Structure 1
């Protein structure tokens, strides 16, 4: 359902929603997605990805990719997060996603109150991921893509439990940081990582497959 306070445009206007996933974790890239929905196909169940179960998110991601007019997913690396800060890296990932679309949208709706620099008009919408279907869809694609990447990274760095917490600062993750130190995919600019008592050099390298 559209927020009545948000101005909408004509049926032929290409409106793109964009959102990010992964600003809070201590490890891994930040992801962003953008979606242009097809007005001729209504996708039921779109909502803020954080309110959906993993099973529901994954099912909706398949539907979005199948029936949206266009979609794209992009990311910003751990190195970019540490160099730019997490906000600017998130905006960079959004910019990459929108610029990966096969066309330039007429308008981009961005979740939150900060927007990437784009060549088309942009409007920020606080709580847009729960108000605007296009942003909800982008939220789902970004979240499922990042979760899949953290599952992959768990195979490379099994000491941290990324398959369970996806890099967020859970009790389990913080304990692993203290025990094993930070890996190369941890965000060194984040305080809990900086404060971890051991360095990457102390890791048991035999426990880390050479896949990343």
Structure 2
């Protein structure tokens, strides 16, 4: 089996951008991010952590019902290169099952925890039919609470047709990320971008 490739952007996608969130869902922050996207009629991809989905299935269901995409972010958020190939496969499959229970469909895309990959993981992802997604604005480091202006300043240079942008809406205080997205979403729309799911960006939408 050929290994999966890591995707940071999609060439020639037109005026489309995919905004993504990791570690979802969170009972405090996820609904607030959903409100921002609802206000502007935009869509996003939420990379769900299986253990959080098991705790908050109603929030995962809200994400799906509001037209967003649920992607796979593993079951327990391990450093995937440090576990065996069989354990990698189990992490993806068990998280996948939780997503299927909410959405009725298998997710198309997977974001590795910590963006850590090795050859085994890329093969496992391909075997399971996943596209492996990273992102362009990695210097934003929104998870570290570096300040709203830092998040925006390190994200804006990554904005172009076909960009995939990475943020977090769980795992701690996400007020800076929320504030940054409250600025960025309308800004992108004013620039003529359409905010879509990763699957739509990749042409995988069914």
What TM-score does the superposition give when structure 1 sets the normalisation length?
Answer: 0.25
Compare CA radii of gyration and give the structure with the larger one. Answer: 1
What TM-score does the superposition give when structure 2 sets the normalisation length?
Answer: 0.26
